[in-house]
Amino acid sequence: MVGSIGRPNQRPLIGRGKEIARLQDLMQITEQAQQSRLRQKKMPSPPTLSSDTQPQRPHCVLLSGKRGTGLTRLAEEAAREANLHNWGVVWCRAYQQEGNIPYLPWIDALRNAKEKLWQAQTVAQRPLVYRPLRHLLPELQDLLPQTGPAGPTLPGGEQLFLWEAIRILLNSMCERTPLLIVFDDLHWADDSSSHLLLYLVREMSSQQVIFLCTCRETILPTWHTDLQRERLAEVLQVSRMSDQEIHALLAGQPTPLAESIIDQASGLPFYAEELARATGGEPFPETIPLEHDLPATVKAAFTEMLSPLSFTCRQMLDLASLWGAAFTAKNVERLARQSVAQDLLRKDGLTTAIEEALGQGVLEEVIQEGQIFYLFLPSLLASYLYHQISTSRRERWHRAMEEEEWSEDAGLPRCAFCPGGLSPLALPEAADVAMPDDLALTYRCQQCHQVYEIQYRRINIVALTAEGNPKALHIETVTLGQLFHVGVWQGKLPGTAI
């Protein structure tokens, strides 16, 4: 690859040791296989069938993970590792906006590799073989004939000749050095580029080459299972980072800022790095960033994430955002009934919307103590969606939440997740009750044991939400084993005289 590999000004790679080790193993196996083939060629007599036959090795690796997992960053590190071991690197990358231009990733890759891994003289020595490259690389027209041999061709022959020309050119590179071909963001590739990749993987299995592709787990190509059955490919599932790894990624940041970002990024390093870069070292207000505080890169990622979703699914996510980073189907159903969301109220409407969000990687499902919770990925997405809703609509929906959730007869709110009642963990002393504006009490549901922190405020609900403080009405995920619900209750405290 010409010039430096990857993007500049990057932090050292955190974690991903298992994936890097596997790629190193494959590179070593590839080098050993090439050395074995060279030894066999030097043998005085032709090798027997058993000695010539070598075990099939996977030479195509698909790095698969959720949006924002850092697949490109991992591929860059693998390319640097290959470069250190004197491998040639060919980098292809597909872009969503250019998905309708055939072969564009391969055009860019061949141009970037020119002079470093192949020269124009290579093409000039076999003009008839490389003639189809005139259509991809117009700068080679002076070296290649305009017309080929006359005669009939098979249907699709022009495409096959083009693929063969590219294969032979890559083979010529492999004869001089092992080759790592990286195809970044394969999910955005046009069909022609994807089919060419599949052809090369199958036809170059005997060469010293490894294909490394990055692809989101929700958009894996359909042909990857065929290659796995043929033992030509394997999928490395790249998981989200742990809180400790994200904390190491944010080394040097103030502790309040790092903790705030860890809560919002949900183990996805892309969001963690972008939030840290945009804050300038200051923690987010009350740990929940408002929509206008988000960097443009994060907003663009959210826009791209939400664009394929149906109207009903978007409506479900908007309602769910009022509950914060975690919610249940029952929470959304109650709000849908209050807001008259007809598409969600029809048979299986809500279930279909949730399944669509799960399939697109916008939500994840967590089952705990018999309860099914849905979490936004990342948690920051809940705040973003919340602030996309108009203030008047938010106030109306919050009022609907209060009417559903609070029981005036019992004097305490009902549990948001089951019919169980709440028991106070600590009641205030008389002196504490006299505190003027707000008072936080802790309760636990007797049935599902969810922990609630109830914020009592003797002010109007509408006035509270108009101040732009959504945290007071959100469920926040602290850990998978503990949920905190912060609500607002108007009236006297239980067991008091006020």
Transcribe 185-212 into DSSP letters.
TGGG--HHHHHHHHHHHHHTTTSSEEEE
My answer on whether 224 and 276 are in the same domain is: no
Establish if 454 belongs to a structural domain. Answer: yes
Based on the fold, state whether residues 132 and 267 are members of the same structural domain: no
Query: What percentage of the chain's residues is helix, strand, coil (to nearest 5)?
Result: 50, 15, 35
> pLDDT band for position 437 (50/70/90)?
very low
Note the pLDDT tens digit of each residue in 310-358. 999 999 999 999 888 888 898 888 888 877 677 777 888 899 999 999 9
Identify which of 386, 240, 392, 243 has the alpha carbon closest to the alpha carbon of residue 327: 386
199 plus 342 within the same structural domain: no
Instruction: Tell me what percent of the residues of the chain surpass a pLDDT of 70.
Output: 70
Determine, yes or no, domain membership for 26: yes
Please write the tens of the pLDDT for every residue from 356-393. 999 999 999 988 777 888 999 999 999 899 888 888 88
Domain match, 274 and 233 both: no
Domain count, the chain: 3
Q: Is residue 306 part of a domain?
A: no
Can you tell me which residue has the tokens 């009592």? 456
pLDDT mean over 27-46: 76
Based on the domain organization, do 331 and 479 belong to the same domain? yes
Instruction: Please say if the pLDDT value at position 396 is more than 50.
Output: yes
Same domain for 269 and 413, yes or no, is no
Residues 220/63, Cβ–Cβ less than 8 Å:
no
Q: Is residue 341 part of a domain?
A: yes
pLDDT at 418 (0 to 100): 62
374 in the same domain as 461: yes
Q: In this structure, is residue 443 part of a structural domain?
A: yes
Look up residue 225 and give its amino acid: T
Report the pLDDT averaged over residues 424-443. Answer: 51
Neighbours of 170 (CB within 10 A): 23
Q: What is the mean pLDDT of residues 32-55?
A: 61
Which of the residue ranges 40-54, 183-197, 227-241 would you say has the lowest mean pLDDT? 40-54
Residues 254 and 120 in one domain: no
pLDDT at 483: 33
- CB contact at 8 A, 105 and 200: no
Residue 252 to residues 199, 248, 265, 280, 457: CA-CA distances in angstroms? 47, 9, 17, 12, 38
Per-residue pLDDT at 141 exceeds 90: no
Residues 338 and 393 in one domain: yes
Provide the CATH number for the domain around residue 80: 3.40.50.300
Position 275 in a domain: yes
Task: State the pLDDT confidence band at 457, using cuts at 50, 70 and 90.
Answer: very low
What angle do helix axes 311-321 and 380-388 make, rounded to 10 degrees? 100
> Is residue 292 situated within a structural domain?
no
0.85 exceeded by pTM: no
Residues 377 and 452 in one domain: yes
Is the CB of residue 461 less than 8 Å from the CB of residue 396?
Answer: no
266 or 452, which is more confident: 266
- Residue 445 β-bridge partners: 422
pLDDT value for 336: 84
In this structure, are residues 421 and 410 in contact, taking their beta carbons and an 8 Å threshold?
Answer: yes
Instruction: Give the confidence band of 295 by pLDDT, cuts at 50, 70, 90.
Output: confident
Using DSSP, state whether 134 is helix, strand or coil. Answer: helix
Query: Which of 60-74, 94-108, 184-198, 453-467 has the least mean pLDDT?
Result: 453-467
What number of CA atoms fall less than 13 Å from residue 134's CA on the CB side?
Answer: 15
Closest C-alpha among 494, 495, 471 to residue 484: 471
**360 with 354: CB under 8 angstroms?**
no
List the beta bridge partners of residue 489. 456
* Domain boundaries, position 392: 311-489
> Are 86 and 324 a contacting pair, CB within 8 Å?
no
In a domain, 5, yes or no: no
Same domain, 315 and 184: no
Per-chain mean pLDDT for the chain: 77
Does residue 331 sit in the same domain as residue 453?
yes
Lowest mean pLDDT among 30-44, 112-126, 186-200, 458-472: 458-472
Element (H, E) at 72: helix 71-84
In 126-180, alpha helices (H): 127-130, 157-176
Q: Specify the pLDDT at position 374.
A: 92
3-state secondary structure of 474: coil
